[in-house]
Amino acid sequence: MIRVLGFAGSLRRASFNRSLLRAAQELAPEGLEIAAFDLAVVPLYNGDVEAEGDPEGVAAFKQAIREADGVLMVTPEYNHGVPGVMKNAVDWASRPPQSAALAGKPVGLIGASPGMTGSARGQSQLRQAFEFTNSYCMPQPELLVFRAHEKFDADGRLIDEPTAGYLRRYLEAFLEWTRRFTA
């Protein structure tokens, strides 16, 4: 069994990206288990606070990453880039660089947006961070859920069958990708 930690870079209740993460948990193939972590408990990065010891939420977040075989990040896109909530979480998990929770971790990256590009630029920008964190972000396939408001119902359930199919294929590939690093 491969155990992955998933988190979405949005804090709002009706977030499409949180909904996409829930769909991923439900559609995960045999052999893949995705636990969700809520980034609401992760404060803004502050080196002074870090020097006094990780706050409870940060410590729990890093521990959950360490215990997981891989990480699934579900990112929105804000102003053609990665939203602060997600970047901030990655920044905490990249510290300290010598023993970062994200170092050497396989990473899956997906995202949703109501626009036509489905978080493409947010994902692209986030990928750059993995050069520094030394994480192994799966290159392909990609999953960009565009026009997200048409793909989820009012309760956040994924109702678009083609998107569910792409998500299943993504998760199958991510299971194989993660296995490569956990032999």
Number of residues that make up the chain:
183
Q: How many residues bind ligand FNR (CB under 6 A)?
A: 14
Q: Contacts with ligand FNR in 14-53 (CB under 6 A)?
A: 15-17
Q: Which residue has the tokens 């769909």?
A: 23
For the four alpha carbons of 6, 10, 11 and 14, in that order, the dihedral sign comes to: negative
Q: Does 157 bind ligand FNR (CB under 6 A)?
A: no
Nearest-Å Rg of the Cα atoms of the chain is 15
The H-assigned helical ranges of 53-160 are 56-67, 84-93, 120-133
Q: Does 113 bind ligand FNR (CB under 6 A)?
A: yes
CA atoms within 13 A on the CB side of 173: 17
- From the list 127, 41, 128, the residue with the least C-alpha distance to 92 is 41
Site string for ligand FNR, 50-79 (x = CB under 6 A): --------------------------xxxx
Which segment (7-15, 36-44, 125-133, 150-158) binds ligand FNR by CB under 6 A? Answer: 7-15
- Nearest approach in angstroms of CB 98 to ligand FNR is 33
Q: Does 98 bind ligand FNR (CB under 6 A)?
A: no
Q: Which CB atom, from 56 or from 150, has the smaller least distance to ligand FNR?
A: 150
- Nearest approach in angstroms of CB 133 to ligand FNR is 22
- CA–CA separation, 173 and 110 (whole Å): 13
Chain positions contacting ligand FNR, by CB under 6 A: 10, 12, 15-17, 76-80, 113-115, 117
